[in-house]
């Protein structure tokens, strides 16, 4: 059972039910997904190495919301992040937008998400600067997720952060000691104050009358960095709901499975088909919004300092060996191999052909 098949079969009903709520970004995502591997605007050209047979294949759409695409994009991101890993302990800090503010984020997603990123990053930098153990420059990577495991709208940002900082003046790595990096309650207090100030004073957004007194920020020790990176990448470029988790589409009802965050057990959720489509498509991000951001020592411009830190830690015995830079195993990319239908011999990729853009009557709205 594939999400795109369900979308194609029920698109008219979905357009009719949510006509006033479908954004431009959603329509672009829908068009891309329904055109994925079927649109002949751009095709890959292949030639047999043993006979004269040639074939053109439609390309994947490449949209970040498409469940059929982006495997290599995810792999590339993980490989790049692996090269930045330090041989230290890592923490994951999660800033969650309160329920009362989610209606604002839904109607003004770009402003809201940008504010969440800038405020959360400023909070982490401030806590690191004022920390007795740290005090130097830190680095962290933030990933925006807009849903929980049930796929309800639940905007939050995960930050993965090495437990240490770099003192440029002393050319020294300062290791964070103990079980805790920052106090989560203090993080939540500052997160609340700064985000509300950003929304009201800088963005002139009218806030609801009732807001929760306590906000939620989690700061958890996650051990080494790679498992946390893999967790962050799970929904990064592969769509909101993998096709393998969709169980059935019967009698106007779609069922999918998910892992409950509390019990860690697999549960099943069933919705009317049109509501199911909205559940997934509401998470399409505004075009151009970066949902992954690096800060401080993990920015691209800090590569030399980061390699210096890796070498220092290696010399100190944190790594068994270093060759040029931190050695980490690369994840495998998906390699496309095609076989000639005539002689069953391997075909060679010859390039991309640009054809005339096909007309589409997919949308009437």
* Neighbouring C-beta atoms of residue 198, cutoff 10 Å: 19
Q: Give the three-state DSSP class for 243.
A: helix
**Claim to verify: residue 96 and residue 234 sit in the same structural domain:** yes
N residues, the chain: 365
Q: Please calculate the CA angle 307-310-316 and round it to the nearest 5 degrees.
A: 145
Per-residue model confidence (pLDDT) at position 355: 67
Q: Which domain holds residue 184?
A: 71-240+283-315
Total domains, the chain: 2
Per-residue model confidence (pLDDT) at position 40: 59
**Claim to verify: residue 198 and residue 123 sit in the same structural domain:** yes
pLDDT in tens, the chain (365 residues): 689 999 999 999 999 999 999 999 999 999 988 888 776 566 777 889 889 888 877 777 778 888 877 666 777 888 888 888 888 889 999 999 999 999 999 999 999 999 999 999 999 999 998 888 887 889 999 999 999 999 999 999 999 999 989 988 888 888 887 778 899 999 999 999 999 999 998 888 999 989 999 999 999 998 888 888 887 777 676 678 989 999 999 999 999 999 998 888 999 999 999 999 999 999 999 998 999 999 999 998 888 898 888 888 887 765 443 333 333 444 444 455 788 888 888 888 877 777 655 444 444 44
Element (H, E) at 279: helix 273-281
What token pair was written down for 328?
């980490």
**Claim to verify: residue 301 and residue 347 sit in the same structural domain:** no
Of 199, 193, 114, 97, the residue nearest 153 (C-alpha): 97
User: Residue 327 phi/psi, 5° resolution?
Assistant: -90, 125
Q: Give the three-state DSSP class for 50.
A: coil
Flag whether 364 is in a domain: no
**Claim to verify: residue 42 and residue 123 sit in the same structural domain:** no
**Claim to verify: residue 56 and residue 121 sit in the same structural domain:** no
CB 266 within 8 A of CB 23: no
Flag whether 218 is in a domain: yes
Per-residue model confidence (pLDDT) at position 4: 92
**Claim to verify: residue 192 and residue 225 sit in the same structural domain:** yes
Sequence-separated (6 or more) residues with CB below 8 Å from residue 48? 54, 340, 342, 343, 345, 346, 347, 348
């Amino acid at each position: 059972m594939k999400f795109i098949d369900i979308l194609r079969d029920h698109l008219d009903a979905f357009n009719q039910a949510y006509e006033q709520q479908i954004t431009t970004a959603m329509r672009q995502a829908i068009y891309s997904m329904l055109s994925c591997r079927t649109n002949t605007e751009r095709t890959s050209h292949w030639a047999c190495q043993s006979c004269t047979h040639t074939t053109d294949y439609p390309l994947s759409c490449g949209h970040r919301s498409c469940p059929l695409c982006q495997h290599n994009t995810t792999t590339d991101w993980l490989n790049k992040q692996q090269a930045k890993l330090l041989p230290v302990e890592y923490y994951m800090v999660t800033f969650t937008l309160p329920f009362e503010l989610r209606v604002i984020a839904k109607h003004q997603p770009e402003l809201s998400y940008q504010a969440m990123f800038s405020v959360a990053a400023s909070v982490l930098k401030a806590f690191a600067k004022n920390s007795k153990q740290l005090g130097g420059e830190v680095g962290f990577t933030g990933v925006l997720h807009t849903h929980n495991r049930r796929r309800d709208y639940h905007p939050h940002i995960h930050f993965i952060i090495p437990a240490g900082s770099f003192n440029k003046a002393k050319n020294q790595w300062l290791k964070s000691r103990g079980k805790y990096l920052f106090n989560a309650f203090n993080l939540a207090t500052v997160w609340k104050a700064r985000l509300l100030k950003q929304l009201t004073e800088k963005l002139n957004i009218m806030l609801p009358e009732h807001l929760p007194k306590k906000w939620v920020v989690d700061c958890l020790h996650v051990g080494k960095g790679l498992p946390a990176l893999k967790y962050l990448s799970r929904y990064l470029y592969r769509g909101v709901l993998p096709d393998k988790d969709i169980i059935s589409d019967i009698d106007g009802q779609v069922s999918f499975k998910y892992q409950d965050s509390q019990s860690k057990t697999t549960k099943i959720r069933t919705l009317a088909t049109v509501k199911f489509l909205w559940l997934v498509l509401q998470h399409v991000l505004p075009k151009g919004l970066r949902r992954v951001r690096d800060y401080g020592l993990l920015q691209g411009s800090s590569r030399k300092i980061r390699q210096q830190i890796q070498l220092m830690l290696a010399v100190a015995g944190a790594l068994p060996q270093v060759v040029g830079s931190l050695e980490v195993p690369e994840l495998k990319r998906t390699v496309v191999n095609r076989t000639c239908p005539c002689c069953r011999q391997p075909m060679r990729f010859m390039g991309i052909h640009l054809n005339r853009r096909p007309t589409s009557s997919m949308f009437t709205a």
